[in-house]
Chain A
Amino acid sequence: MNGVHDLGGTDGLGPVVVPDREPVFTAEWEKAAFAMFSMCFRAGFFGVDEFRYGIEQMHPAVYLLSPYYEHWIHTVEHYGKAKGLLDLDEVDRRTQYYLEHPDAPLPQREDPDLVAFVEAVVPAGAPAKRESDKAPQFKVGDTVTVRADSPLGHTRRARYIRGRTGEIVLAHGTFIYPDSAGNGGGDAPQHVYTVKFTNTELWGPDTAEPNGVVYFDVWEPYIVPAHTTGAAA
């Protein structure tokens, strides 16, 4: 989708505000919001690609103006509702209750398996690499063009690289394909490559800063051999 989350190259968003010091979590609620990602992942709310797509479906104005971990709440609610795991009317009622009683305690329940899950998932991770016997269609050194059409669902094919031509500099093997998994499909593994684009190719000679490049990772269906013509390229 052509969403506001796709920020690369957007102008007018002001300076980067860098505080001297910043705690890991700037508010208490951020801790639970952060933890919901891994625990709802474990409970089957979403994979990481769906998780991102849920965030992308926030209202653009709210997306830009809300603190980052609040985005994670939106995607928990989005998939909780879509998969019948959450009753949002109940969430509304309880929100009202905690607004009026901010110090009211949370329900208490023990589950050693959940703590064990945390201990295990942090060092083990959740790899997106998927073995596949699919032969790569491209290799390091190839010049490729990113398909320029606008997909409607989740994609990692950012707007600022669409239609642009660059050189493959790294080949990483096969990974879950976000344009499938993020849209409710299977892993559908595809080869991932890093493509190098010059600043001039991306932004034009009048705007581009001198002596610079951008590296962007693409899945194989995102690219075609350079200099081909047709609707796809």
Chain B
Amino acid sequence: MRNLLLAGVLLGAPALAHLSGIGLSPPHLFITLEPGESWQGSFTVYTQNGRGELHPSLTDWTLSPQGTLLLAPPGSLPYSAATWISLAENPFELLPSHPIRLELTIHVPPQTPTGDYWAAIALKTAPSPLPQGVGLRTSLEVLEIVYVRVGHPEAQAALTLERTSKGWLAVFANRGTQVLRLHPKLRFLNHQGILLKEVSLSEEVLLRGDALDLPLDGPFPKGSALLLIEAQAAGLRQPLVATLNLGP
């Protein structure tokens, strides 16, 4: 295909619209296996914007306490499942209205300890053509996230409040062997204990061994005296709760 594209350009054929849209269905996989077991499955990639080559590869990933996505070579991070995943890493062409199903196999090695593990399949476009002079090329990369649950891991977490130079932080720490999907809520109460406002925050992923910082910076609702922080996650026996006195 690369040769055909090159030939088209050399012959003066109209340039193909560069791939500028990628769809994933589903955008992440969650597989449960026992040590020594295998799974075969797939996910679908599609486009409606242009056409072009995608380059699949395996990668490790994690999240910073601030939630930033960080990538690392496969097998380099704790709890990586990248080395358990097999897929064809050959580039392939994506065309509008022609979804492609990418198949993968996951094999959990025997003796793997109980717990959640994860990795991702990165699908990246080739950079746009090289500009003349000083310039920038662009590339689009989407990740198919793969979680592998081995056995029956334990859900355990803690919530603490920390004061920093910038204000208070609610720090969620994952102390179990499961990946947790937290659903935090903030409740603002006045001096009489009357609820002034309740804010449901977006779902947050808390990986094994990780911590998540939630800044508790204002402005708070007028008249707030107390802030209740609560977070629930599937698997936790009870919600995580902390209270912050907002002063007079």
A interacts with B = no
Interface of B toward A, CB cutoff 8 Å: none
